[in-house]
Amino acid sequence: MIVDETLPGGLRLVTEAMPQVRSISIGVWLMRGSRHESDAESGIAHFVEHMLFKGTHNRSAQQIAQEIDSIGGQMDAFTTKEYAGYYIKVLDEHLPLAVDLLGDLVLRPAFAVDDIAREKSVILEEIKMVEDAPDDLVHELFAQQFWPRHPLGRPILGTPATVESFDQKGLRGYFDRMYVAPQLLISVAGHMEHARVRDLIAKSFATVKTTSGASETTPPAPVASVAYRQKDIEQSHVCMGTPAYHQAHEDRHALYVLNTILGGSMSSRLFQHIREDRGLAYSVFSTITSYSDAGMVTIYAGCAADRVKEVVDVSLAELRELRTTPVPGDELRRAKDHLKGNLVLNLESSASRMSHLARQYILFGRQYTLDEMTKAVDAVTAEDVQRVAGELFHDAALSATVVGPSATSPVPDRLRVDA
């Protein structure tokens, strides 16, 4: 049973009882991410996420770690471009401590000067890790090239210059603006009763601020381009893609099916034709990245430098085929069953249910049932898939980024998919 309640201060609480499990997962979700930063603040949302684990007015970082370890719990956090999350998974008997600990982290961070200085070094190393991981780097470079001069194109981690510029006053100011009741949602799933959770949340989050300034956003304007970065590595990494739908688009389920057919599974066309039939790449897949007002479909492949052009040509041929030829019935059915199976299997733990619950309410303001989602997938037709492919896969929107060892780019300055 799902219960949705807004507490007197404006804090929203959504719970789902799972009587068949012994665990409880609790998440505090901030509906602000890196896209809500100014250029000068780039990376500050992620930096604040780190700082919340460095100590509060009541607990040191070591005490936080010891408390969660002493009850066998799991605790973590993340920052995305549109929201941030802090979550704990514990046995049901440890619910009061988990709620108290989360409330302390999210409402009373210390932002000690010494901790800020140390964390700068940590995050600068994290930025270097991306630079040293070309399969991650190529996606970062693609986003920057695809959505230039827009917050969705910026890296979540920020840049060395912006990270170095952060100080206690700036971090505290950002925290005070963002971590307020209207921009927070708490989701809980597991073996619990809503009334008890509500009482614990009301107590631990009683001091949450209730006012905030508005954060305006504008959708990005995609730019079709081809970019190349030379790097001293053995393998080339290719990322190519086109604009896609925003998260709540009415054709999102057709897009999910299209992506599954293209490169979202082991039986997908890209995997079979690039890896299995030709042996061009070990890793090849397609994925959907979607936000509240924009999205992209991207294809990734890691291959030998002298195979890049062939990988790109085969990928373009697959896009062209999806535009021009209806998907056979058996392939469409496999894609739908794959999607539905993943959906069900991914919702079997309290942690996954908690995350799914939060994202549904952040995006839609309500929970779509499993039956609603599977029916929407089942309703997708071959004509829907072809229509969506025609809308998204065309020359005017096609971009690519390659990171590789060659001295010159192995792909032309313009990619073409139109028949």
Give the residue numbers annotated as catalytic, written as ranges: 49
Contacts of 320 (CB under 8 A, 6+ apart): 393, 417, 418, 419
- φ, ψ for residue 239 (rounded to 5)? -130, 120
- φ, ψ for residue 212 (rounded to 5)? -160, 160
Query: For residue 246, which amino acid is it?
Result: H
User: What is the distance between the alpha carbons of residues 93 and 23, in angstroms, rounded to a whole number?
Assistant: 9
Cα separation values, 174 from 33, 43, 49, 153, 281, Å: 11, 11, 11, 21, 44
CA-nearest of 304, 309, 306 to 412 is: 309
Name the DSSP letter for residue 36: G
Contacts of 214 (CB under 8 A, 6+ apart): none
Cα separation values, 274 from 257, 279, 284, 315, 387, Å: 20, 6, 8, 8, 24
Q: Tokens in use for 364?
A: 């839609």
Residues 192 and 92 sit within 8 Å (Cβ to Cβ): yes
User: What is the distance between the alpha carbons of residues 417 and 419, in angstroms, rounded to a whole number?
Assistant: 6
User: What is the distance between the alpha carbons of residues 271 and 262, in angstroms, rounded to a whole number?
Assistant: 8
Contacts of 159 (CB under 8 A, 6+ apart): 42, 43, 127
Cα separation values, 200 from 13, 96, 172, 207, Å: 11, 7, 26, 13
- φ, ψ for residue 140 (rounded to 5)? -60, -45
Q: Tokens in use for 336?
A: 């739908």
CA-nearest of 176, 187, 186 to 210 is: 176
Q: Tokens in use for 69?
A: 């370890």
User: What is the distance between the alpha carbons of residues 408 and 41, in angstroms, rounded to a whole number?
Assistant: 35
User: What is the distance between the alpha carbons of residues 326 and 384, in angstroms, rounded to a whole number?
Assistant: 9
Cα separation values, 358 from 55, 99, 306, 368, Å: 26, 17, 45, 11
